[in-house]
Amino acid sequence: MGGPMHMSSPIEEAELLYLKHLLTTLLRLVGALAAEGPVSRFEVILRKLALSDGAFAMPGPVRGAILPAMTHLKALFLDLCTMAPPTMVEDSESGIRNSYNYHLLQLLASTENIEHLRINCKDPQSRIGVNELFTWLVAQSDEDAAKSLSSRQYPGLPQLPPPIGFPKLERIEIGFALLEADTLLDLFKKFKTSLQAINLHKINLAATREQQTDKVNLWARLLNGMAALDLSLTSIVLEEVGQGSESYRCLPVKFNSTTGQDRKMAWSGRATLHGLKDIHTALEIEFPEDEGMHPGVHMTDEDEDEEEFDDMDDVDDMDEGEGNDGDASGGDGD
Protein backbone atom coordinates (compact mmCIF):
# COMPACT_ATOMS: atom_id res chain seq x y z
CA MET A 1 0.00 0.00 0.00
CA GLY A 2 2.98 2.24 0.44
CA GLY A 3 4.61 4.24 -2.28
CA PRO A 4 7.17 6.95 -2.87
CA MET A 5 6.47 10.43 -1.57
CA HIS A 6 8.32 13.66 -2.25
CA MET A 7 9.05 15.77 0.82
CA SER A 8 8.43 19.39 -0.14
CA SER A 9 10.39 22.33 1.23
CA PRO A 10 8.50 25.26 2.81
CA ILE A 11 8.93 27.24 -0.41
CA GLU A 12 7.59 24.35 -2.47
CA GLU A 13 4.65 23.98 -0.10
CA ALA A 14 3.82 27.67 -0.55
CA GLU A 15 4.04 27.31 -4.32
CA LEU A 16 1.77 24.26 -4.28
CA LEU A 17 -0.80 26.06 -2.14
CA TYR A 18 -0.74 29.01 -4.53
CA LEU A 19 -1.21 26.67 -7.52
CA LYS A 20 -4.12 24.94 -5.79
CA HIS A 21 -5.79 28.29 -5.04
CA LEU A 22 -5.23 29.50 -8.60
CA LEU A 23 -6.52 26.26 -10.15
CA THR A 24 -9.64 26.24 -7.98
CA THR A 25 -10.32 29.88 -8.83
CA LEU A 26 -10.00 29.23 -12.57
CA LEU A 27 -12.15 26.10 -12.42
CA ARG A 28 -14.84 27.97 -10.49
CA LEU A 29 -14.74 30.62 -13.20
CA VAL A 30 -15.23 27.91 -15.84
CA GLY A 31 -18.25 26.69 -13.89
CA ALA A 32 -19.68 30.19 -13.53
CA LEU A 33 -19.30 30.92 -17.25
CA ALA A 34 -21.01 27.70 -18.30
CA ALA A 35 -24.48 29.26 -18.21
CA GLU A 36 -23.47 32.15 -20.49
CA GLY A 37 -21.22 30.28 -22.90
CA PRO A 38 -19.37 27.02 -22.19
CA VAL A 39 -15.57 27.21 -22.02
CA SER A 40 -14.05 24.87 -24.61
CA ARG A 41 -10.34 25.00 -23.66
CA PHE A 42 -8.56 24.72 -20.31
CA GLU A 43 -4.77 24.85 -20.48
CA VAL A 44 -2.29 24.57 -17.61
CA ILE A 45 1.20 25.22 -19.01
CA LEU A 46 3.91 25.59 -16.37
CA ARG A 47 7.67 25.93 -16.71
CA LYS A 48 9.02 24.65 -13.40
CA LEU A 49 5.98 23.75 -11.32
CA ALA A 50 3.31 21.11 -11.75
CA LEU A 51 -0.09 20.26 -10.31
CA SER A 52 -0.14 17.55 -7.66
CA ASP A 53 -3.27 15.52 -7.05
CA GLY A 54 -4.09 17.64 -4.01
CA ALA A 55 -4.48 20.69 -6.26
CA PHE A 56 -7.61 19.09 -7.72
CA ALA A 57 -9.20 18.45 -4.31
CA MET A 58 -12.19 20.69 -3.63
CA PRO A 59 -15.22 20.77 -1.33
CA GLY A 60 -18.37 19.02 -2.50
CA PRO A 61 -20.38 22.17 -3.35
CA VAL A 62 -17.49 23.59 -5.39
CA ARG A 63 -16.99 20.29 -7.18
CA GLY A 64 -20.70 20.12 -7.93
CA ALA A 65 -20.54 23.54 -9.59
CA ILE A 66 -17.42 22.78 -11.61
CA LEU A 67 -17.69 19.21 -12.92
CA PRO A 68 -20.81 19.73 -15.09
CA ALA A 69 -18.96 22.49 -16.96
CA MET A 70 -16.10 20.10 -17.73
CA THR A 71 -18.34 18.18 -20.13
CA HIS A 72 -18.11 21.14 -22.55
CA LEU A 73 -14.31 21.09 -22.78
CA LYS A 74 -12.80 20.31 -26.17
CA ALA A 75 -9.14 20.70 -25.14
CA LEU A 76 -7.44 20.00 -21.81
CA PHE A 77 -3.72 20.58 -21.13
CA LEU A 78 -2.26 19.55 -17.76
CA ASP A 79 1.25 19.63 -16.25
CA LEU A 80 1.14 17.05 -13.47
CA CYS A 81 3.26 15.92 -10.54
CA THR A 82 2.37 12.36 -9.55
CA MET A 83 4.68 12.33 -6.51
CA ALA A 84 2.26 13.51 -3.85
CA PRO A 85 0.64 12.22 -0.65
CA PRO A 86 -1.84 9.54 -1.76
CA THR A 87 -5.51 9.12 -0.95
CA MET A 88 -6.66 5.79 0.48
CA VAL A 89 -9.45 4.43 -1.74
CA GLU A 90 -11.56 1.35 -2.28
CA ASP A 91 -10.72 -0.05 -5.71
CA SER A 92 -12.85 -2.00 -8.18
CA GLU A 93 -11.77 -5.29 -6.63
CA SER A 94 -13.23 -4.17 -3.29
CA GLY A 95 -9.78 -3.82 -1.82
CA ILE A 96 -7.99 -0.91 -0.19
CA ARG A 97 -5.06 0.84 -1.81
CA ASN A 98 -3.40 4.21 -2.21
CA SER A 99 -4.31 6.42 -5.15
CA TYR A 100 -1.98 9.15 -6.38
CA ASN A 101 -4.57 10.53 -8.83
CA TYR A 102 -7.91 10.28 -7.01
CA HIS A 103 -8.85 13.97 -7.23
CA LEU A 104 -7.49 14.35 -10.77
CA LEU A 105 -9.53 11.38 -12.00
CA GLN A 106 -12.68 12.95 -10.58
CA LEU A 107 -12.08 15.83 -12.97
CA LEU A 108 -11.05 13.69 -15.96
CA ALA A 109 -14.16 11.54 -15.57
CA SER A 110 -16.23 14.63 -16.45
CA THR A 111 -14.34 15.47 -19.65
CA GLU A 112 -15.79 12.82 -21.94
CA ASN A 113 -16.16 15.24 -24.86
CA ILE A 114 -12.56 16.41 -25.16
CA GLU A 115 -10.93 16.25 -28.57
CA HIS A 116 -7.39 17.27 -27.59
CA LEU A 117 -5.67 15.95 -24.45
CA ARG A 118 -2.15 16.91 -23.35
CA ILE A 119 -0.64 15.34 -20.23
CA ASN A 120 2.88 16.15 -19.05
CA CYS A 121 4.14 14.11 -16.08
CA LYS A 122 6.71 16.50 -14.63
CA ASP A 123 9.37 15.64 -12.06
CA PRO A 124 9.24 14.57 -9.36
CA GLN A 125 7.05 11.76 -10.59
CA SER A 126 5.98 8.46 -9.09
CA ARG A 127 6.13 5.42 -11.35
CA ILE A 128 3.17 4.05 -9.39
CA GLY A 129 1.23 7.27 -9.91
CA VAL A 130 2.00 7.44 -13.64
CA ASN A 131 1.00 3.80 -14.10
CA GLU A 132 -2.25 4.37 -12.20
CA LEU A 133 -3.14 7.38 -14.36
CA PHE A 134 -2.53 5.62 -17.67
CA THR A 135 -4.12 2.38 -16.50
CA TRP A 136 -7.30 4.39 -15.91
CA LEU A 137 -7.00 6.16 -19.27
CA VAL A 138 -6.58 2.93 -21.26
CA ALA A 139 -9.29 1.00 -19.41
CA GLN A 140 -12.50 0.46 -21.34
CA SER A 141 -15.62 2.17 -20.05
CA ASP A 142 -17.77 -0.43 -18.33
CA GLU A 143 -21.36 0.01 -17.18
CA ASP A 144 -20.94 -2.89 -14.77
CA ALA A 145 -17.97 -1.10 -13.18
CA ALA A 146 -20.08 2.02 -12.77
CA LYS A 147 -22.86 0.03 -11.14
CA SER A 148 -20.37 -1.63 -8.80
CA LEU A 149 -19.77 1.74 -7.14
CA SER A 150 -22.99 1.15 -5.22
CA SER A 151 -21.62 -2.10 -3.81
CA ARG A 152 -19.36 -1.10 -0.96
CA GLN A 153 -17.30 -3.05 1.53
CA TYR A 154 -15.60 0.06 2.93
CA PRO A 155 -18.27 2.80 2.85
CA GLY A 156 -16.00 5.23 4.67
CA LEU A 157 -13.50 5.29 1.79
CA PRO A 158 -13.85 7.06 -1.56
CA GLN A 159 -13.78 5.12 -4.82
CA LEU A 160 -12.09 5.92 -8.10
CA PRO A 161 -14.52 6.92 -10.83
CA PRO A 162 -15.08 4.30 -13.54
CA PRO A 163 -13.10 4.92 -16.74
CA ILE A 164 -14.77 6.71 -19.63
CA GLY A 165 -14.50 6.22 -23.38
CA PHE A 166 -13.42 9.69 -24.64
CA PRO A 167 -15.21 8.92 -27.94
CA LYS A 168 -14.25 12.23 -29.58
CA LEU A 169 -10.53 12.25 -28.75
CA GLU A 170 -8.62 13.21 -31.91
CA ARG A 171 -5.26 14.41 -30.63
CA ILE A 172 -3.20 13.11 -27.72
CA GLU A 173 0.09 14.54 -26.44
CA ILE A 174 2.11 12.90 -23.67
CA GLY A 175 5.31 14.25 -22.17
CA PHE A 176 8.06 13.44 -19.68
CA ALA A 177 6.76 10.00 -18.64
CA LEU A 178 8.39 6.58 -18.30
CA LEU A 179 5.87 4.18 -19.83
CA GLU A 180 5.56 0.62 -21.03
CA ALA A 181 5.26 0.28 -24.81
CA ASP A 182 2.18 -1.88 -24.28
CA THR A 183 0.53 0.94 -22.33
CA LEU A 184 0.89 3.28 -25.30
CA LEU A 185 -0.40 0.61 -27.68
CA ASP A 186 -3.43 0.04 -25.45
CA LEU A 187 -4.03 3.79 -25.40
CA PHE A 188 -3.88 4.11 -29.20
CA LYS A 189 -6.07 1.03 -29.63
CA LYS A 190 -8.75 2.42 -27.33
CA PHE A 191 -9.00 5.67 -29.28
CA LYS A 192 -8.29 4.35 -32.80
CA THR A 193 -11.73 5.19 -34.20
CA SER A 194 -11.29 8.92 -33.49
CA LEU A 195 -7.52 9.40 -33.04
CA GLN A 196 -5.79 11.50 -35.70
CA ALA A 197 -2.61 12.88 -34.12
CA ILE A 198 -0.02 11.55 -31.65
CA ASN A 199 2.74 13.63 -30.07
CA LEU A 200 5.25 12.02 -27.68
CA HIS A 201 7.73 14.43 -26.06
CA LYS A 202 10.53 13.27 -23.76
CA ILE A 203 8.92 9.84 -23.35
CA ASN A 204 11.11 6.93 -22.28
CA LEU A 205 9.93 3.39 -22.91
CA ALA A 206 10.50 1.23 -19.85
CA ALA A 207 13.21 -1.34 -20.57
CA THR A 208 14.67 -4.05 -18.40
CA ARG A 209 18.43 -4.31 -18.04
CA GLU A 210 18.30 -7.45 -20.16
CA GLN A 211 16.50 -5.62 -22.96
CA GLN A 212 19.09 -2.86 -22.89
CA THR A 213 22.08 -5.18 -22.87
CA ASP A 214 20.48 -7.39 -25.52
CA LYS A 215 19.98 -4.29 -27.67
CA VAL A 216 16.22 -4.64 -28.01
CA ASN A 217 14.86 -1.60 -29.84
CA LEU A 218 11.58 -0.97 -28.04
CA TRP A 219 10.65 1.95 -30.29
CA ALA A 220 10.84 -0.28 -33.35
CA ARG A 221 8.54 -2.71 -31.57
CA LEU A 222 6.16 0.13 -30.67
CA LEU A 223 5.99 1.27 -34.30
CA ASN A 224 5.32 -2.31 -35.42
CA GLY A 225 2.52 -2.54 -32.88
CA MET A 226 1.04 0.74 -34.07
CA ALA A 227 1.10 -0.51 -37.66
CA ALA A 228 -0.83 -3.61 -36.62
CA LEU A 229 -3.58 -1.44 -35.11
CA ASP A 230 -4.54 -0.05 -38.53
CA LEU A 231 -4.62 3.53 -37.26
CA SER A 232 -5.84 6.40 -39.46
CA LEU A 233 -3.48 9.18 -38.38
CA THR A 234 -2.61 12.49 -40.00
CA SER A 235 0.28 13.44 -37.70
CA ILE A 236 2.95 11.70 -35.61
CA VAL A 237 5.64 13.58 -33.68
CA LEU A 238 8.41 11.97 -31.63
CA GLU A 239 10.75 14.37 -29.85
CA GLU A 240 13.61 13.66 -27.42
CA VAL A 241 12.41 10.12 -26.75
CA GLY A 242 14.41 7.17 -25.47
CA GLN A 243 14.28 3.92 -23.58
CA GLY A 244 15.55 2.80 -20.20
CA SER A 245 14.41 2.48 -16.61
CA GLU A 246 14.60 4.16 -13.24
CA SER A 247 17.58 2.01 -12.28
CA TYR A 248 19.31 1.71 -15.67
CA ARG A 249 20.25 4.76 -17.69
CA CYS A 250 18.04 5.86 -20.55
CA LEU A 251 19.37 5.67 -24.09
CA PRO A 252 18.24 8.39 -26.51
CA VAL A 253 16.57 7.69 -29.82
CA LYS A 254 18.10 9.57 -32.74
CA PHE A 255 16.73 10.09 -36.23
CA ASN A 256 18.62 10.36 -39.50
CA SER A 257 18.39 14.05 -40.32
CA THR A 258 19.87 16.41 -42.89
CA THR A 259 19.20 19.41 -40.65
CA GLY A 260 21.31 18.34 -37.69
CA GLN A 261 18.22 18.16 -35.47
CA ASP A 262 18.37 14.42 -34.84
CA ARG A 263 16.18 14.23 -31.72
CA LYS A 264 12.87 15.02 -33.42
CA MET A 265 10.87 13.26 -36.14
CA ALA A 266 7.62 14.70 -37.45
CA TRP A 267 5.35 13.07 -40.02
CA SER A 268 2.14 14.37 -41.52
CA GLY A 269 -0.04 12.89 -44.21
CA ARG A 270 -2.81 10.37 -44.80
CA ALA A 271 -0.89 7.12 -45.37
CA THR A 272 -0.25 6.06 -41.79
CA LEU A 273 1.63 2.87 -42.68
CA HIS A 274 4.03 4.85 -44.87
CA GLY A 275 4.58 7.32 -42.04
CA LEU A 276 5.29 4.60 -39.49
CA LYS A 277 7.70 2.92 -41.89
CA ASP A 278 9.53 6.20 -42.56
CA ILE A 279 9.93 6.83 -38.84
CA HIS A 280 11.07 3.24 -38.26
CA THR A 281 13.69 3.56 -41.01
CA ALA A 282 15.02 6.84 -39.63
CA LEU A 283 15.31 5.96 -35.93
CA GLU A 284 18.33 4.44 -34.26
CA ILE A 285 19.55 3.80 -30.73
CA GLU A 286 23.23 3.76 -29.83
CA PHE A 287 23.55 0.86 -27.43
CA PRO A 288 26.66 0.80 -25.22
CA GLU A 289 29.09 -2.05 -25.69
CA ASP A 290 28.67 -3.36 -22.15
CA GLU A 291 29.92 -6.71 -21.01
CA GLY A 292 27.30 -9.39 -21.11
CA MET A 293 25.88 -8.39 -24.50
CA HIS A 294 24.20 -11.12 -26.51
CA PRO A 295 24.74 -10.02 -30.11
CA GLY A 296 22.52 -12.68 -31.65
CA VAL A 297 19.43 -11.32 -29.91
CA HIS A 298 19.92 -7.87 -31.40
CA MET A 299 20.20 -9.24 -34.94
CA THR A 300 17.10 -11.38 -34.51
CA ASP A 301 15.11 -8.47 -33.12
CA GLU A 302 16.15 -6.16 -35.96
CA ASP A 303 15.35 -8.81 -38.56
CA GLU A 304 11.88 -9.32 -37.13
CA ASP A 305 11.23 -5.58 -37.21
CA GLU A 306 12.30 -5.32 -40.85
CA GLU A 307 10.28 -8.37 -41.87
CA GLU A 308 7.12 -6.93 -40.34
CA PHE A 309 7.49 -3.67 -42.24
CA ASP A 310 8.44 -5.55 -45.42
CA ASP A 311 5.12 -7.38 -45.15
CA MET A 312 3.39 -4.00 -45.30
CA ASP A 313 4.90 -3.16 -48.69
CA ASP A 314 2.20 -5.14 -50.48
CA VAL A 315 -0.48 -3.20 -48.61
CA ASP A 316 1.26 0.09 -49.42
CA ASP A 317 1.43 -0.81 -53.12
CA MET A 318 -2.29 -1.58 -53.16
CA ASP A 319 -3.00 1.83 -51.62
CA GLU A 320 -0.87 3.83 -54.06
CA GLY A 321 -3.82 4.47 -56.35
CA GLU A 322 -5.87 5.97 -53.53
CA GLY A 323 -3.86 9.17 -53.32
CA ASN A 324 -1.88 8.36 -50.16
CA ASP A 325 0.66 11.00 -49.35
CA GLY A 326 2.79 12.05 -46.45
CA ASP A 327 5.80 13.95 -45.32
CA ALA A 328 8.34 12.89 -42.73
CA SER A 329 11.07 15.19 -41.53
CA GLY A 330 13.60 15.56 -38.77
CA GLY A 331 14.22 18.80 -36.93
CA ASP A 332 11.41 21.29 -36.66
CA GLY A 333 9.26 20.05 -39.51
CA ASP A 334 5.57 19.47 -38.83
> What's the chain's average pLDDT?
85
User: Cα Rg for the chain, rounded, in angstroms?
Assistant: 21
What pLDDT does residue 245 have? 80
The residue ranking higher by pLDDT, 299 or 48, is 48
- When mean pLDDT is compared across 55-59, 204-208, 248-252, the lowest value belongs to 248-252
Domain spans in the chain, listed from the N-terminal domain onward:
10-142+156-285
How do residues 144-157 score in pLDDT, each as one tens digit? 555 555 567 888 89
- When mean pLDDT is compared across 80-84, 92-96, 127-131, 210-214, the lowest value belongs to 92-96
pTM for this predicted structure: 0.85
Residue 47, judged by CB atoms within 10 A of its CB (0-12, 13-18, 19+), counts as exposed
The residue ranking higher by pLDDT, 155 or 303, is 155
What pLDDT does residue 257 have? 78
Say whether pLDDT at 30 is over 90.
yes
Say whether pLDDT at 111 is over 60.
yes
What is the mean predicted confidence (pLDDT) over 187-215?
94
- When mean pLDDT is compared across 61-70, 147-156, 165-174, 309-318, the lowest value belongs to 309-318
What is the mean predicted confidence (pLDDT) over 104-122?
97
What pLDDT does residue 313 have? 55
The residue ranking higher by pLDDT, 14 or 184, is 184
**291 closest CA partner among 212, 204, 207, 208:** 212
What pLDDT does residue 276 have? 98
Task: Place 310 in a pLDDT band, splitting at 50, 70 and 90.
Answer: low
> d(Cα 109, Cα 58) in Å, to the nearest integer?
15
What is the mean predicted confidence (pLDDT) over 26-48?
91
What pLDDT does residue 124 have? 74
- When mean pLDDT is compared across 104-118, 247-261, 316-330, the lowest value belongs to 316-330
What pLDDT does residue 150 have? 59
What pLDDT does residue 163 have? 94
Say whether pLDDT at 218 is over 60.
yes
CA distances to 41, 74, 166, 214, 277 from 308, rounded to whole Å, are 40, 37, 31, 20, 10
Task: Place 1 in a pLDDT band, splitting at 50, 70 and 90.
Answer: very low
What is the mean predicted confidence (pLDDT) over 212-234?
95
What is the mean predicted confidence (pLDDT) over 41-53?
93
> d(Cα 328, Cα 63) in Å, to the nearest integer?
44
Say whether pLDDT at 291 is over 90.
no
Say whether pLDDT at 193 is over 60.
yes
Residues 6+ apart with CB under 8 A from 113: 71, 72, 73, 74, 168
What pLDDT does residue 320 have? 40
Dihedral, CA of residue 99, residue 103, residue 104 and residue 108, to nearest 10: 110
What pLDDT does residue 55 have? 94
Residues 6+ apart with CB under 8 A from 296: none
Share of the chain above pLDDT 70, in %: 81
- When mean pLDDT is compared across 17-31, 157-171, 289-303, the lowest value belongs to 289-303
